[in-house]
Structure 1
Amino acid sequence: MMRTWPVIAAMFLALGGLSAVAAYEMAPPRAGEWHEMAWPFPRDGWPAGRAFRCGAADCGGDVEVYVRPKLGFCNCTSGVADDDEVDRVADVDMISARFAPLKTGDSVDVADMTGRIRAYAVELPGGKRTAIGIALSHRCDLMVIAAQGSGDAAQVRQAALAFLGSREIKTWMTAAMGSR
């Protein structure tokens, strides 16, 4: 009889732990969380990437981020050299063909990759929005990110960079780029 108590106690602890994990997994999303959605753009010469959305209450305005690698598409020696390259490769044209840079871009580091980031005004059927284009290089490959949102350029940039800095996305980007 004395030997069965430790077994019973261990079973209760195990069931309690499983219940806690289930409660955590089934909990409603926390503030600031991003949700993955289907790739919203038509097929082109590159594989579809991953798309994410954060609501206005969580990100200071609705923000969507689109991330995908373009393997073998970068200058192997200079990487992302200038804003013209960001304009050409960062997929902002997939959000809208009518986009215009708001100012000169900046250097940026994300997930151990370097590149450039630039803000744009885009015209959509529902009105104007802000977009951010990011092109990052790793060897001879690119990771391109386009983001759009209802906030101003600083808000959309901040939300996108915070999201790209998350462990899950950094791990995915590193794996996607390291597969070559």
Structure 2
Amino acid sequence: MTRSWPVVAAMFLALGGLSAVVGYEMAPPRPAQWREIAWPFPRDGWPAGRAFRCGTAECGTEVEVYLRPKLGFCNCDSGAADDDEVDRVSDVDMISPRFVPLKAGDVVHVAGMPGRIRAYDLDGSRTAIGVAVSHRCDLMAVAAQGRGDAARVQRVTLKFLESREIRAWMTAAMEGR
């Protein structure tokens, strides 16, 4: 009986170590080192939203994302239906009043909400991404900016918006909670 005790203890240690590794590997990924920053824009007719920054080391390029709900602002029938609406409502104009669309926008789904996404050139060295998604008569406006090509900034932005924490916040904000 005394010889089996070390074997049992070793099995418990091995099982505990294996459980820790599996738990770590199965844990949901955190958004790549995004940190919340202060809302950088002056007050307007809408409440301030949330702003986040991810550095070059973590995201491949420095990106800032600004998002806020605009409750009661959206066309209840068609939502964010065209590029003109994305230009008007996505808050890209707060980053820079001179934004030039790079191409036509695309249909997008963010946090289960349909809408449109569009890329812009700000000044030749910065790219902006505008996103407008809707739920019922409410709109979630998202603007992002970063250095580098538009495809990378857009990819990083969409990955961030699909993180569990941000999806949950967007859903709650659109329901007025």
Q: Sort the TM-score into its range (normalised by shorter chain).
A: 0.7 to 0.9
Q: 1:132 aligns with which of 129, 132, 135?
A: 129
Q: Structure 1 residue 128: deviation in Å?
A: 2.9
1:154 & 1:68 partners in 2: Cα distance? 23
Aligned to 1:4: none
Aligned residues: 148
| TM-score normalised by the chain length of structure 1 | 0.80
Aligned to 1:15: none
The 8 Å contact of residues 65 and 160 in structure 1, kept in 2 or not, is answered as yes
Q: Structure 2: any 5+ residue segments left out of the alignment?
A: 1-29
Deviations 1:39-62 (A, max 9, x none): 000000000000000001111111
Q: State whether structure 2 residue 64 is matched by structure 1 residue 97.
A: no
Aligned to 1:37: 37
Q: Structure 1 residue 31: deviation in Å?
A: 8.8
Secondary structure at 1:158 match in 2: helix
Aligned to 2:170: 173
Secondary structure at 2:127 match in 1: strand
Aligned to 1:115: 115
The 8 Å contact of residues 60 and 151 in structure 1, kept in 2 or not, is answered as no
Aligned to 2:88: 88
Structure 1 segment 6-25 matched on structure 2, within 5 A: none
Q: RMSD value over aligned CA atoms?
A: 1.4
Aligned to 2:153: 156
Could you list the structure 1 runs, at least 4 aligned residues long, displaced by more than 2 angstroms after superposition. none
Q: Sequence identity, in percent?
A: 73
The 8 Å contact of residues 73 and 137 in structure 2, kept in 1 or not, is answered as yes
| TM-score normalised by the chain length of structure 2 | 0.81
Q: Structure 1: any 5+ residue segments left out of the alignment?
A: 1-29
Secondary structure at 2:103 match in 1: coil
